[in-house]
Amino acid sequence: MVTGGGGFLGARIVSMLLDRGWQVTSFSRQRHNSLVERGAVYQLGNLADSAAVDAAVRGVDVVFHVAARAGIWGDLASYYAVNVTGTQNVLAACRRNGVRKIVYTSTPSVVFSGQDIRHASEGTPLAGKHLSHYSTTKAMAERLVLDANGPDLATVALRPHIIWGPGDNQLLPRLVERHRAGRLVLIGRGDNLIDTTFVDNAASAHIEAAGRLEPGAAPAGRPYFISQGDPRPFATMLNALLGAVGLPPVRRSIPVPVAYAAAWLLETGYRMCAVANEPALTRYSVLQMARDHYFDISAARRDLGYAPTVSIEEGLDRMRDDHGLDR
């Protein structure tokens, strides 16, 4: 069973599982006919609904818990309901129904406190202070999942970083919208190094983790960073993604201190005026765009058999093909 099976990563996991002959149930808030036509079973529901989660888990051997509330703006309660309470419901349903394995989709944001992250390993501690409700609640959920590991239920948490590729309905549409509106700028020089993950590599990592996961096995009860293992300058990667959908590169930039101050002012004003929409800049997004963040994936290679088989260049070519552009 895949929670969030209609999302960008979740749908790719469902598709790959079907390709390998698995029987797959997707749990999501909407039905996705393209995967139903391929043989997936859809259970409609919300993670906060424990009865719906229990029904979706019944008769399942492995749960891929991918669904989450993402984003960097909004109230804590809405993030907590999905990311924490939803995870508690998944774990409880797995225990009641005798599920043997859970592969949980976490995020490297759980270790991000606003400073550079360079070649971080799984020994890097969770951030003492998180910069968004998303990272706060994902860290809480990751702890719940890993603490649940035991002889009857083996658990593992994967932390894929900046997932991209054809079919992206999250990161790329936001970048494109802002670029077309003239609101996309570089923060600083854009030479900070970042890791990313092509969607097929992220999906494969989940399936490989499930294959290696057993009570007492090396991955059980552990988190793993997942990426291309090929950090690139932020500006280089951003403009490569924009170019793959036919857009010109971003040239404008603003200094980091100016952007951070502007983000603070915007956040303060939005909160004082109870504006629900996300500001054009937040302190979290400024620091994400300005800092190094790349990771050591040797543990995932060793314990999960993970290998990023689709390179950045091949992934960009697939995106050009998807948009009907010349390579």
Q: How far is Cα 219 from Cα 216, in angstroms, rounded to an integer? A: 8
pLDDT at 33 over 80: no
Tell me which amino acid residue 150 is: G
Active-site annotation, residues: 134
Residue 267, H or E segment: helix 256-272
pLDDT attached to residue 146? 98
3.40.140.10, 1.20.1250.20, 3.40.50.720, 3.20.20.70: which CATH number matches 2-322? Answer: 3.40.50.720
> Hey, is 145 helix, strand or coil?
helix
pLDDT beyond 90 at 244: yes
What's 289-320 look like in SS3?
A: HHCCEEECCHHHHHHHCCCCCCCHHHHHHHHH
**Of 201, 248, 255, 240, residue with least CA distance to 224:** 201
- Angle among Cα 135, 61, 82 to the nearest 5 degrees reads 25
pLDDT(34) > 80:
no
- pLDDT tens-digit series, residues 163-174: 999 989 888 888
CA-closest candidate to residue 104, choices 125, 90, 122, 117: 90
Reported confidence tier of residue 245, pLDDT bands at 50, 70, 90:
very high
Give, to the nearest 10 degrees, the angle between helix 283-290 and helix 256-272: 160
Q: Where are the domains of the chain?
A: 2-322
Tell me which H or E stretch contains 108: none
Q: What is the pLDDT of residue 169?
A: 84
Task: Grade residue 130 by pLDDT with cuts at 50, 70 and 90.
Answer: confident
pTM beyond 0.85, yes or no: yes
pLDDT for the residue numbered 205 = 98
